[in-house]
Amino acid sequence: SYELTQPLSVSVALGQTARITCGGNNIGSKSVHWYQQKPGQAPVLVIYRDSNRPSGIPERFAGSNSGNTATLTISRAQAGDEADYYCQVWDNTFFVFGPGTKVTVL
Amino acid sequence: QLQLQESGPGLVKPSETLSLTCTVSGGSISTSSYYWGWIRQPPGKGLEWIGSIYYSGSTYYNPSLKSRVTISVDTSKNQFSLKLSSVTAADTAVFYCARSGVDTPMVDAFDIWGQGTMVPVSS
Protein backbone atom coordinates (compact mmCIF):
# COMPACT_ATOMS: atom_id res chain seq x y z
CA SER A 1 0.00 0.00 0.00
CA TYR A 2 1.07 3.56 -0.62
CA GLU A 3 2.71 5.34 2.31
CA LEU A 4 3.16 9.02 3.09
CA THR A 5 5.76 10.50 5.42
CA GLN A 6 5.67 13.80 7.28
CA PRO A 7 7.92 15.36 9.90
CA LEU A 8 6.50 14.94 13.38
CA SER A 9 6.80 18.63 14.15
CA VAL A 10 7.74 21.97 12.64
CA SER A 11 8.38 25.18 14.54
CA VAL A 12 8.13 28.64 13.03
CA ALA A 13 8.64 32.11 14.44
CA LEU A 14 5.69 34.45 14.34
CA GLY A 15 5.57 36.18 10.98
CA GLN A 16 8.03 33.80 9.35
CA THR A 17 7.53 30.98 6.85
CA ALA A 18 6.80 27.35 7.71
CA ARG A 19 7.29 24.51 5.24
CA ILE A 20 5.71 21.12 5.85
CA THR A 21 6.77 18.26 3.65
CA CYS A 22 4.88 15.15 2.60
CA GLY A 23 6.98 12.37 1.10
CA GLY A 24 5.85 9.49 -1.08
CA ASN A 25 7.08 7.41 -3.98
CA ASN A 26 6.63 9.54 -7.09
CA ILE A 27 4.06 11.65 -5.24
CA GLY A 28 4.46 14.26 -7.96
CA SER A 29 2.29 12.07 -10.18
CA LYS A 30 -0.58 12.23 -7.69
CA SER A 31 -2.87 15.00 -6.48
CA VAL A 32 -2.07 15.99 -2.92
CA HIS A 33 -4.52 17.60 -0.53
CA TRP A 34 -3.73 19.25 2.80
CA TYR A 35 -5.83 19.59 5.95
CA GLN A 36 -5.48 21.74 9.03
CA GLN A 37 -6.79 20.36 12.32
CA LYS A 38 -6.96 22.37 15.51
CA PRO A 39 -7.48 20.67 18.90
CA GLY A 40 -11.00 19.35 19.37
CA GLN A 41 -12.06 20.31 15.84
CA ALA A 42 -12.67 18.49 12.59
CA PRO A 43 -10.03 18.80 9.85
CA VAL A 44 -10.39 21.63 7.36
CA LEU A 45 -9.23 21.40 3.75
CA VAL A 46 -6.65 24.14 3.12
CA ILE A 47 -5.08 23.00 -0.18
CA TYR A 48 -6.51 20.70 -2.85
CA ARG A 49 -4.91 19.26 -5.99
CA ASP A 50 -1.40 20.25 -4.94
CA SER A 51 -1.73 24.03 -4.96
CA ASN A 52 -5.34 25.22 -4.98
CA ARG A 53 -6.97 27.03 -2.09
CA PRO A 54 -10.64 26.53 -1.21
CA SER A 55 -12.74 29.61 -0.73
CA GLY A 56 -11.96 31.31 2.57
CA ILE A 57 -8.42 29.99 2.94
CA PRO A 58 -5.86 32.82 3.16
CA GLU A 59 -3.34 33.33 0.38
CA ARG A 60 -0.64 32.72 3.00
CA PHE A 61 -1.26 29.00 2.45
CA ALA A 62 0.39 27.59 -0.66
CA GLY A 63 1.21 24.14 -1.94
CA SER A 64 3.56 22.50 -4.41
CA ASN A 65 4.26 18.95 -5.53
CA SER A 66 7.12 17.46 -7.50
CA GLY A 67 9.15 14.28 -7.58
CA ASN A 68 8.90 12.49 -4.25
CA THR A 69 7.88 15.47 -2.12
CA ALA A 70 4.85 17.70 -1.74
CA THR A 71 5.14 20.84 0.36
CA LEU A 72 2.69 23.02 2.23
CA THR A 73 4.04 26.51 2.82
CA ILE A 74 2.57 28.86 5.38
CA SER A 75 3.81 32.44 4.95
CA ARG A 76 3.70 35.14 7.59
CA ALA A 77 2.78 32.58 10.21
CA GLN A 78 0.21 33.61 12.78
CA ALA A 79 -0.63 32.21 16.19
CA GLY A 80 -3.88 30.90 14.74
CA ASP A 81 -1.94 28.68 12.30
CA GLU A 82 -0.79 26.49 15.18
CA ALA A 83 -2.36 23.12 14.42
CA ASP A 84 -1.79 19.63 13.07
CA TYR A 85 -1.47 19.38 9.29
CA TYR A 86 -2.16 16.25 7.25
CA CYS A 87 -1.45 15.49 3.63
CA GLN A 88 -3.68 13.06 1.72
CA VAL A 89 -3.71 11.32 -1.65
CA TRP A 90 -5.94 8.95 -3.56
CA ASP A 91 -4.12 5.76 -4.51
CA ASN A 92 -5.90 3.36 -6.84
CA THR A 93 -8.86 2.38 -4.73
CA PHE A 94 -8.34 4.03 -1.41
CA PHE A 95 -7.50 7.25 0.38
CA VAL A 96 -4.22 7.60 2.25
CA PHE A 97 -3.43 10.17 4.93
CA GLY A 98 0.01 11.17 6.08
CA PRO A 99 0.84 10.77 9.79
CA GLY A 100 0.48 14.49 10.45
CA THR A 101 2.79 17.36 11.40
CA LYS A 102 2.33 19.52 14.47
CA VAL A 103 3.10 23.14 13.68
CA THR A 104 4.14 25.33 16.59
CA VAL A 105 4.29 29.11 16.20
CA LEU A 106 6.91 30.61 18.50
CA GLN B 1 -24.89 25.28 3.00
CA LEU B 2 -24.27 21.56 3.15
CA GLN B 3 -23.69 20.09 6.60
CA LEU B 4 -22.88 16.61 7.90
CA GLN B 5 -23.80 15.34 11.35
CA GLU B 6 -22.72 12.06 12.92
CA SER B 7 -24.93 10.25 15.41
CA GLY B 8 -24.81 6.99 17.31
CA PRO B 9 -24.31 5.39 20.71
CA GLY B 10 -21.73 6.98 22.95
CA LEU B 11 -20.21 3.69 24.12
CA VAL B 12 -19.71 0.25 22.59
CA LYS B 13 -18.67 -2.94 24.35
CA PRO B 14 -15.78 -5.09 23.12
CA SER B 15 -16.76 -7.73 20.53
CA GLU B 16 -19.95 -5.83 19.65
CA THR B 17 -20.76 -3.86 16.49
CA LEU B 18 -20.27 -0.11 16.34
CA SER B 19 -23.02 1.66 14.37
CA LEU B 20 -23.00 5.28 13.28
CA THR B 21 -25.15 7.37 10.97
CA CYS B 22 -24.28 10.53 9.10
CA THR B 23 -27.15 12.84 8.21
CA VAL B 24 -26.65 15.20 5.27
CA SER B 25 -28.53 18.50 5.40
CA GLY B 26 -28.63 21.49 3.11
CA GLY B 27 -28.18 19.34 0.01
CA SER B 28 -28.92 15.95 -1.49
CA ILE B 29 -26.86 12.84 -0.96
CA SER B 30 -28.14 11.60 -4.33
CA THR B 31 -25.66 13.43 -6.48
CA SER B 32 -23.26 11.96 -8.99
CA SER B 33 -20.59 14.46 -8.00
CA TYR B 34 -19.60 13.09 -4.60
CA TYR B 35 -18.69 10.10 -2.53
CA TRP B 36 -19.54 9.99 1.17
CA GLY B 37 -16.95 8.65 3.55
CA TRP B 38 -15.99 7.71 7.09
CA ILE B 39 -12.68 8.61 8.69
CA ARG B 40 -11.57 7.86 12.23
CA GLN B 41 -8.97 9.29 14.59
CA PRO B 42 -7.85 7.46 17.74
CA PRO B 43 -7.07 9.74 20.68
CA GLY B 44 -3.80 11.57 20.09
CA LYS B 45 -3.24 9.90 16.72
CA GLY B 46 -3.70 10.62 13.03
CA LEU B 47 -6.50 10.24 10.53
CA GLU B 48 -7.44 6.87 9.05
CA TRP B 49 -9.88 6.49 6.15
CA ILE B 50 -12.39 3.69 6.78
CA GLY B 51 -14.44 3.61 3.60
CA SER B 52 -16.69 5.52 1.22
CA ILE B 53 -20.00 5.06 -0.57
CA TYR B 54 -21.68 6.47 -3.66
CA TYR B 55 -25.39 7.31 -3.67
CA SER B 56 -25.97 4.26 -5.87
CA GLY B 57 -24.57 2.03 -3.12
CA SER B 58 -21.16 1.41 -4.66
CA THR B 59 -18.56 1.13 -1.90
CA TYR B 60 -14.84 0.86 -1.36
CA TYR B 61 -13.09 0.17 1.89
CA ASN B 62 -9.71 0.43 3.56
CA PRO B 63 -8.19 -3.03 3.05
CA SER B 64 -7.02 -3.12 6.65
CA LEU B 65 -10.62 -2.85 7.91
CA LYS B 66 -12.56 -4.34 5.04
CA SER B 67 -13.43 -7.61 6.77
CA ARG B 68 -15.19 -5.76 9.60
CA VAL B 69 -16.74 -2.76 7.83
CA THR B 70 -20.08 -2.23 6.12
CA ILE B 71 -21.15 1.17 4.79
CA SER B 72 -24.67 1.69 3.48
CA VAL B 73 -26.75 4.58 2.16
CA ASP B 74 -30.40 5.54 2.62
CA THR B 75 -31.21 8.16 0.01
CA SER B 76 -34.79 8.57 1.27
CA LYS B 77 -33.43 9.82 4.59
CA ASN B 78 -30.38 11.57 3.12
CA GLN B 79 -28.16 9.46 5.36
CA PHE B 80 -25.31 7.01 5.14
CA SER B 81 -24.19 4.62 7.84
CA LEU B 82 -21.18 2.77 9.17
CA LYS B 83 -21.04 -0.60 10.88
CA LEU B 84 -17.77 -1.85 12.36
CA SER B 85 -17.97 -5.34 13.82
CA SER B 86 -16.00 -7.17 16.51
CA VAL B 87 -14.65 -3.99 18.02
CA THR B 88 -11.82 -3.85 20.53
CA ALA B 89 -10.33 -1.04 22.60
CA ALA B 90 -8.08 -0.28 19.62
CA ASP B 91 -11.17 0.90 17.74
CA THR B 92 -11.78 3.71 20.24
CA ALA B 93 -11.71 6.89 18.17
CA VAL B 94 -13.41 10.03 17.00
CA PHE B 95 -15.37 9.09 13.90
CA TYR B 96 -15.94 11.67 11.17
CA CYS B 97 -18.15 11.56 8.13
CA ALA B 98 -17.02 13.61 5.16
CA ARG B 99 -17.72 14.34 1.50
CA SER B 100 -15.22 13.78 -1.30
CA GLY B 101 -15.49 14.97 -4.87
CA VAL B 102 -15.82 12.69 -7.90
CA ASP B 103 -16.01 15.04 -10.86
CA THR B 104 -15.56 18.35 -9.11
CA PRO B 105 -12.52 20.64 -8.90
CA MET B 106 -11.78 19.17 -5.47
CA VAL B 107 -11.77 15.64 -6.81
CA ASP B 108 -10.65 13.06 -4.21
CA ALA B 109 -10.41 15.67 -1.45
CA PHE B 110 -12.61 15.72 1.62
CA ASP B 111 -14.06 19.21 1.41
CA ILE B 112 -16.83 19.03 4.00
CA TRP B 113 -16.61 17.21 7.35
CA GLY B 114 -18.97 16.50 10.19
CA GLN B 115 -17.97 17.67 13.66
CA GLY B 116 -17.04 14.12 14.68
CA THR B 117 -18.30 11.84 17.41
CA MET B 118 -16.17 10.09 20.03
CA VAL B 119 -16.90 6.40 20.43
CA PRO B 120 -15.14 4.63 23.29
CA VAL B 121 -14.97 0.85 23.26
CA SER B 122 -15.11 -0.36 26.81
CA SER B 123 -16.87 -2.90 28.98
CA B81 to chain centre: 7
Q: What is the pLDDT of residue B107?
A: 87
Residue range A69-105, pLDDT digits in tens: 999 999 999 999 999 999 999 998 899 999 999 999 9
- Considering CB atoms only, which of A1, A31, A86 is closest to B47? A86
Rounded distance, CA B19 to CA B31, Å?
A: 24
User: CB-based contacts of A63: which residues, under 8 Å, 6+ apart?
Assistant: A32, A34, A47, A50, A51, A52, A70, A71, A72, A73
Phi, psi for residue A93 in degrees, rounded to 5: -125, 15
With beta carbons under 8 A apart, name residues in chain A contacting B109: 31, 33, 45, 48-49, 88
Check CB contact under 8 Å for B113 and A42: yes
A36: left (phi over 0), alpha (psi -120 to 50) or beta: beta
B110, B112, B118: best mutation site toward chain A, by most A Cβ within 10 Å? B110
Residue range A49-74, pLDDT digits in tens: 999 999 999 999 999 999 999 999 99
Q: What is the pLDDT of residue B104?
A: 85
Residue range B57-111, pLDDT digits in tens: 999 999 999 999 999 999 999 999 999 999 999 999 999 999 999 888 888 999 9
Q: Are A38 and A83 in contact (CB under 8 A)?
A: yes
